[in-house]
């Protein structure tokens, strides 16, 4: 998975949306204490910076050193490069001790994981019974009727063949992803719970966002340029002016607590 984002790490850090503050307020309201959060697959730290405003300490881990180079630097956030597969001893060494973590977050990356192995680690590090896991994902941005029409055709006809099969879990807003945790206090299910992230961007930022996808990079590695000049021109016409527009990203979170497992 890390290899897919290695070559466009700078573009990813520049173009990917931040998350709404309300999302993290909701997540944090479900953890009794706010001492330590582990942000897994932290990338360039989009989620970690929000967690740092609420939790005393944050550990952000990623298998891509290149992504971590662009991560937001904050005094209470420690970034750690980790191997794709970790033993429990490595988890304790690189992340935290058993039963010491209040919250585990995974933003836009749970669908890449070996879930049985990862969930064993989650159960090991979280405080029992109220430690919380929150898996966040967002779907394609909605900009305007004209821009969305061009993008949707591009997504279906041009981009789709290059997506990894795991992308289907994102398109489904994580409804079908394995998530064996108990509902948090005040909820009778584990989600997905819906939010929206609004980002003001110009056309160049929007095109950079498109180029930051793993499917685009997969095609590029095969010598295929998916965003040719003809398509760029279609986006320019649809955009309609040189100024910025507001892109709305649907954001969802699956959230649960570890219980006594």
pLDDT averaged per 10 residues, the chain (length 261): 48 67 97 97 93 98 90 95 93 96 96 95 96 96 97 96 93 96 96 95 92 90 95 96 92 95 62
CA atoms of 140 and 210, how far apart (whole Å) = 10
Query: DSSP H helical segments within 70-186, as ranges?
Result: 88-94, 115-125, 145-154, 167-171
CA atoms of 47 and 40, how far apart (whole Å) = 10
Contact in structure between 79 and 63 (CB atoms under 8 Å): no
The DSSP 8-state label assigned to residue 182 in this structure reads B
Report the Cα–Cα distance between both ends of the chain, in Å, rounded: 29
Structure tokens at 68: 């971590």
Classify each residue of 109-146 as buried b or exposed e, where b means 16 or more C-beta atoms within 10 Å of its C-beta.
Answer: bbbbbeeeebbebbbbbbbeebbbbbbbbbebbbbeee
Residue 4 is predicted with a pLDDT of 46
Which of 89, 99, 107 minimizes the C-alpha distance to 39? 107
Residue 67 is predicted with a pLDDT of 86
CA of 118: how far to CAs of 85, 111, 114, 207, in Å? 9, 11, 6, 33
Residue 66 is predicted with a pLDDT of 86
Structure tokens at 232: 């760029």
Residue 10 is predicted with a pLDDT of 52
* Residues 6 or more apart in contact with residue 98 via CB below 8 angstroms: 88, 92, 124, 125
Residue 2 is predicted with a pLDDT of 46
Give me the residue label for tokens 């009794």: 32
CA of 33: how far to CAs of 1, 83, 90, 142, 166, in Å? 32, 29, 25, 36, 33
CA angle 202, 13, 135 (to 5 degrees): 110
Query: DSSP H helical segments within 172-253, as ranges?
Result: 203-211, 214-221, 229-239
Residue 37 is predicted with a pLDDT of 98
């Amino acid at each position: 998975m890390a290899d897919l984002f290695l070559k466009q790490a700078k573009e990813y850090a520049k173009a990917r949306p931040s998350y709404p503050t309300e999302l993290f307020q909701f997540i944090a309201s479900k953890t009794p204490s706010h001492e330590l959060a582990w942000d897994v697959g932290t990338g360039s730290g989009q989620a970690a910076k929000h967690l740092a405003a609420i939790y005393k300490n944050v550990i952000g881990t990623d298998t891509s050193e290149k992504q971590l180079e662009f991560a937001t630097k904050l005094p209470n956030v420690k970034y750690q490069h980790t191997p794709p597969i970790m033993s429990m001893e490595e988890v304790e060494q690189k992340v935290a001790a058993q039963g010491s973590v209040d919250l585990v977050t995974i933003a836009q990356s749970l669908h890449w994981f070996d879930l049985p192995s990862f969930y064993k680690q989650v159960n090991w590090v979280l405080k029992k019974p109220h430690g919380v896991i929150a898996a966040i994902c967002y779907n394609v941005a909605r900009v305007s009727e004209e821009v969305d029409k061009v993008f949707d055709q591009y997504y279906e006809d041009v981009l789709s063949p290059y997506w990894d099969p795991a992308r289907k879990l994102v398109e489904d807003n994580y409804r079908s992803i394995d998530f064996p945790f108990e509902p948090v206090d005040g909820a009778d299910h584990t989600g997905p719970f819906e939010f929206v992230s609004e980002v003001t961007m110009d056309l160049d930022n929007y095109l950079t966002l498109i180029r930051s996808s793993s499917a685009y990079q997969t095609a590029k590695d095969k010598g295929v340029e998916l965003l040719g000049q003809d398509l760029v021109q279609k986006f320019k016409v649809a955009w309609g002016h040189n100024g910025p527009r507001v892109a709305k990203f649907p954001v969802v979170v699956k959230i649960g607590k570890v219980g006594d497992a």
